[in-house]
Amino acid sequence: MMRILFLLFLTVFAAPIQAQQVSSAPGAVLRGLDKLDGSVTDLELAVGENKDFGRLNISLGDCRYPKGNPAGNAFAFLTIRENGMDDPVFQGWMIAAAPALDALDNARYDVWVLRCMTE
């Protein structure tokens, strides 16, 4: 009975969650940290481009941002491989506002998204 009342409450009073409209950008700005020497490097990548950062090779698949708000929260699809390795050490979406949500797990390097590059 309580379950039915709870479900009824959710359907009547809870606001529906709407998907956010997004736009794709031609590129992204990432920041890389070498934890061994403390150096920080900003990387600009176009969609489909690969760049080396230390022993990592980073590939940008897409960068998206809220439609009409290019300065809004960016999220990028990245594939990161260690040089000489076939399997990626990271593959997925990184979110600028929550870099720890889906982070690269590497003993030496950190990589996170700063923003999308717009025209």
For the segment 6-59, what is each residue's pLDDT rounded down to a tens digit? Answer: 444 444 444 444 467 888 999 999 999 999 999 999 999 999 999 999 999 999
Give the pLDDT of residue 71: 75
Beta strands in 35-74 (DSSP E): 39-46, 50-53, 56-66
pLDDT tens-digit series, residues 96-109: 988 888 889 899 99
Average pLDDT of the chain, as a whole number: 85
Strand intervals (E) in 4-46: 22-25, 27-34, 39-46
C-alpha span between 33 and 31 (Å, rounded): 7
Bridge partners, residue 115, by sequence: 29
C-alpha span between 12 and 4 (Å, rounded):
12
The β-bridge partners of 82 are: 56
